[in-house]
Structure 1
Amino acid sequence: MPIYNKLVRDGIPKIIELDNKKYTMNVLDTAQHEVAIKRKLEEELKEYQQASSNEEAIEELADLLELIYAVLPLHNSTIEELEKVRLAKREKRGGFDKGYYLIEVKDDYV
């Protein structure tokens, strides 16, 4: 039996049961859940970086977004609050749409 030791989506136990397999699982407390989400975010980010097609990239981005949504309650926040902060930052500093890549800023203009 493979050993995973990682956070999985909520529907995975049912999928395993429907496949007539047995599993061992723990339900994490809040602190453990946050640590597991951070690890899973790293895993999914690596998978996004390694995606070789647009379809794969979108799948991995969806996983990242799902993890972001899952961690918000652990920070006493909501999707709506996150979006409000995102829009405020975008208004103040802009987005990342134009592909600007800053090389250097010179401190004095002599």
Structure 2
Amino acid sequence: MSQEETITYGKLVRDRIPEIIEAEGRTAIVRVLAESELVPALIDKLVEEAEELREAEPEDHLGELADIYEVLAALAGTLGFSYEQVLESARHKRGKRGGFSRRLWLDEVTSGQ
């Protein structure tokens, strides 16, 4: 007889995760977040996925970027923005402030007096 083990996660998961868990013969206890809980949960998930990207091996970078993209798309939609609006805003900011292609690292700024 095997001993039951319970792992507590307390985090937002992809829609099919409970189904996948159940297919493995385990039981998933889930609830649907209230609207007021969704944006903070998506932001937490974005941070989680960014940390996973930081720790990932190079061969896993694309998959981690895909996870970040999926969370970002869900967050944008939840906040009422379309994909096109996010891209346009990014283009606008890039035009005004630049992108990251020059790999600039700001060490310090001294005021001129």
**Counterpart among 11, 33, 42 of residue 37 in structure 1:** 42
Aligned-residue CA RMSD in angstroms?
A: 1.7
Identity percentage of aligned residues: 35
Segments of 5+ residues of structure 2 without an aligned counterpart are 1-5
Distance, in Å, in 1 between the alignment partners of 2:110 and 2:25 is 64
TM-score, scaled relative to structure 2: 0.84
Segments of 5+ residues of structure 1 without an aligned counterpart are none
CA distances 1:30-63 after superposition (whole Å, capped 9, x unpaired): 2211111111111111111112x22222222211
TM-score, scaled relative to structure 1: 0.86
Are 1:41 and 1:67, in contact at CA under 8 Å, matched by a contact in 2? yes
The residue number in structure 2 matching 1:70 is 74
Distance, in Å, in 1 between the alignment partners of 2:9 and 2:111 is 50
**Segments of 4+ moved more than 4 angstroms:** none
Count of residue pairs brought into register by the alignment: 108
The residue number in structure 2 matching 1:12 is 17
